[in-house]
């Protein structure tokens, strides 16, 4: 019954790094290749095609991501790190394995199984923090948003902590494509999130603070849910004033962040045409509807790359630049103009559902050169 899990256990990792090449019909000036932009233009998954792209802005990339393909299921993970890459890298190495183990034990994939995979990954990373904190205290300040989608037997399961986002493109009336957001943004810029935090911490007048024009939890961080950020969850990992960026003015009385994911389940319908999974670097520059319109009105091949490049064009325009000039900037410097951005577009071809066409097992990690055998086994 669970052939995907069994076969993925023995499958080899097959990630490939390719630098994106500009299409001649793209809107922006394409005279130079963007050396920080990686993509897989189009691959097969169990329900159709997918497109995958990542662009680096930080000196060390903090976005990690993966797509796992089997005959019966498709897994997408987007992990937007902050404070450093350790948490997002850990999630990429462990969350899918945790999900596989828990699904094998229960014989199915459910929302509850996905939730437990999140919690197991959080516990695993906090264990790593505990082991490493003495020699690397900054690991306590590393965390990551985590967005996961699983398509299994015609049903989509989505789990999310942080402000990465999943959006579905649905064909509505008059054959117009409509964007529907499937996730909640756990970000203090949203009034509902601030009210939730205040209700959970009625005795803390500084639970959310406006700092430099941005609402932040304890004046430090914008996201209210994450994996990691141990210093905001456990007093034992508090950082002293020698780390002013992460130092709390008052001792932590109880966790101010949580790794509890928001979950949604959706039985996919014929009018559900595609899914966009992306880190907040994309949504900072594109609305849900604009992103969906771009996917619907352009060829599939390279569509994730097109979304990234459109966002970069917007980022450049806001600074009165052209994308052709922006892409000449080095990593690190690029972070002053845009964030690391990860985009995965999953097309839903419902006519493939239930057919026995062979879909090769495939594991793709965004923006990586690593190739080798899988490092996990299914119990």
The residue ranges of every structural domain in the chain are 3-187+223-373, 188-222
CA distance 103 to 53: 28
Q: How much is the average pLDDT of 77-84?
A: 96
Q: Is the pTM of this model over 0.85?
A: yes
CB 338 within 8 A of CB 32: no
pLDDT (0 to 100) of residue 244: 76
CA distance 311 to 282: 6
Q: What is the DSSP string of 293-348?
A: HHHHTS-STTHHHHHHHHHHHHHHHHTT--HHHHTTSPTTGGGGT---EEEEEEE-
Per-residue pLDDT for 309 more than 60?
Answer: yes
CB 178 within 8 A of CB 172: yes
Q: Could you read off the pLDDT of 213-225 as tens digits, one per residue?
A: 999 999 999 999 9
CA distance 243 to 229: 14
DSSP character at residue 25: T
Which region holds residue 198: left if phi is over 0, alpha if psi is between -120 and 50, else beta? alpha
Per-residue pLDDT for 335 more than 60?
Answer: yes
CB 74 within 8 A of CB 151: yes
Q: Confidence band (pLDDT; 50, 70, 90) for 174? A: confident
Q: What are the CA-CA distances from residue 296 to residues 21, 92, 276 (Å)? A: 21, 29, 11
CA distance 212 to 220: 11
CA distance between the termini of the chain: 15
Q: What are the CA-CA distances from residue 173 to residues 177, 178, 232, 271, 280 (Å)? A: 8, 9, 46, 10, 29
Least confident of 149-163, 259-273, 304-318, 348-362: 348-362
Q: Positive or negative CA dihedral for 192, 195, 200, 201?
A: positive
Least confident of 97-111, 167-181, 191-205, 354-368: 354-368
Neighbour count for residue 39 (Cβ, 10 Å): 25
DSSP character at residue 357: -
CA distance 326 to 336: 11
CB 364 within 8 A of CB 53: no
Burial class (CB in 10 A: 0-12, 13-18, 19+), 373: exposed
CATH superfamily of 3-187+223-373: PPM-type phosphatase domain (3.60.40.10)
CA distance 154 to 357: 16
Residues pairing with 158 in the sheet: 149, 264
The winner for highest mean pLDDT among 102-111, 168-177, 274-283 is 274-283
């Amino acid at each position: 019954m669970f052939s995907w899990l069994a076969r993925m256990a023995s499958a080899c990792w097959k990630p490939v790094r390719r630098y994106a090449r500009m299409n001649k019909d793209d809107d922006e000036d394409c005279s130079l290749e963007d050396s920080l932009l990686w993509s897989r233009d189009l691959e097969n998954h169990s329900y159709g095609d997918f497109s995958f792209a990542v662009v680096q802005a930080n000196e060390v990339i903090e976005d990690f991501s993966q797509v796992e393909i089997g005959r019966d299921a498709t897994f997408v993970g987007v992990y937007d790190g902050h404070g450093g890459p350790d948490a997002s890298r850990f999630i990429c190495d462990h969350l899918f394995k945790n999900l596989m183990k828990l699904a094998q034990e229960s014989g199915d994939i459910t929302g509850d199984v996905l939730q437990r995979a999140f919690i197991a990954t959080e516990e695993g990373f906090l264990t790593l923090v505990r082991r490493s904190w003495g020699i690397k205290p900054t690991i306590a300040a590393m965390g990551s948003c985590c967005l996961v989608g699983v398509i299994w037997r015609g049903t989509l399961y989505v789990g999310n902590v942080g402000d990465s986002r999943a959006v579905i493109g649905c064909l509505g009336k008059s054959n117009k494509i409509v964007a529907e957001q499937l996730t909640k943004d756990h970000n203090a810029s949203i009034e509902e999130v601030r009210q939730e935090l205040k209700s959970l911490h009625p005795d803390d007048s500084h639970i959310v603070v406006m700092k430099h024009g941005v609402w932040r939890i304890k004046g430090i961080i914008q996201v209210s849910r994450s994996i990691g950020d141990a210093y905001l969850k456990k007093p034992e990992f508090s950082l002293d004033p020698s780390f002013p960026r992460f130092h709390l003015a008052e001792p932590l009385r109880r966790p101010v962040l949580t790794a509890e994911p928001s979950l949604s389940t959706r039985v996919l319908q014929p009018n559900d045409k595609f899914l966009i999974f992306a880190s907040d670097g994309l949504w900072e520059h594109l609305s849900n509807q604009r992103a969906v319109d771009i996917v619907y009105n352009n060829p599939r091949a390279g569509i994730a790359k097109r979304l990234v490049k459109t966002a970069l064009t917007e980022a450049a325009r806001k600074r009165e630049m052209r994308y052709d000039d922006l892409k000449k900037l080095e990593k690190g410097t690029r972070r002053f103009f845009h964030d690391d951005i990860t985009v995965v577009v999953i097309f839903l071809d419902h006519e493939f559902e239930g057919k026995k066409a062979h879909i090769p097992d495939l594991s793709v990690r965004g923006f990586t050169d690593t190739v080798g055998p899988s490092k996990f086994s299914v119990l």
